[in-house]
């Protein structure tokens, strides 16, 4: 009996294998991101400021795969490409990155795109649920009508309930 308990305890403590990303892969990804932030400091500062709502969505979202954070990143990343290219063409300085990030037009466009992505991520599941419920109700009504027609045609008494 004691061997079974020890075996179960070891199984509970042992790391799971075959997950999405192993510990070493996550560590290497973190190392690569840290190196990119160190080597590309102006771009990292600009991206951090322009994609702040995405960072907030990723930190606050409780879903395991973070679908809202993904949508906000997609929309915000699409609008942040323009300022990053402008930074590259303008000399890649930290002052240029801060000037681009402090531009109300640039900041408003990126943050509005991320807000729109978040809103779409909230509304689309509700819209799809309404659409599927309407289709199910229409199919049910059509099948009930067909059933009544067959009951009348065959002379079967209608089903109660």
Residue 88's nearest CA partner among 76, 105, 100, 77 is: 100
Residue range 67-125, pLDDT digits in tens? 999 999 999 999 999 999 999 998 888 999 999 999 999 999 999 999 999 999 999 99
Burial class (CB in 10 A: 0-12, 13-18, 19+), 13: exposed
| 99 CB neighbour count, 10 Å cutoff | 15
Strand, helix or coil for residue 103: coil
For residues 6-35, average pLDDT: 69
What's the CA gap between 36 and 30, in Å, rounded?
10
What's the CA gap between 9 and 21, in Å, rounded?
24
Q: What's the mean pLDDT when you consider all of the chain?
A: 87
What's the CA gap between 56 and 53, in Å, rounded?
5
With contact defined as beta carbons under 8 Å apart, do 83 and 106 qualify?
yes
Task: For residue 76, give both structure tokens.
Answer: 């915000």
pTM over 0.75: no
């Amino acid at each position: 009996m004691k061997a079974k308990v020890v075996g179960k305890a070891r199984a509970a403590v042992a790391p799971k294998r075959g997950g999405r990303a192993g510990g070493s892969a996550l560590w290497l990804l973190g190392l690569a991101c840290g190196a990119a932030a160190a080597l590309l400091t102006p771009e990292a500062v600009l991206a951090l400021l322009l994609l702040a709502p995405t960072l907030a969505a990723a930190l606050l979202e409780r879903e395991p795969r973070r679908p809202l954070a993904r949508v906000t990143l997609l929309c915000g990343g699409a609008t942040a490409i323009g300022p990053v290219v402008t930074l590259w063409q303008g000399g890649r300085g930290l002052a240029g990155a801060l000037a681009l990030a402090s531009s109300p037009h640039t900041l408003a466009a990126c943050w509005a795109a991320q807000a729109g992505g978040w809103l779409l991520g909230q509304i689309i599941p509700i819209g799809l649920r309404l659409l599927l419920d309407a289709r199910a109700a229409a199919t049910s009504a059509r099948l009930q009508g067909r059933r009544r027609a067959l009951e009348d045609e065959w002379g079967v008494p209608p089903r109660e309930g």
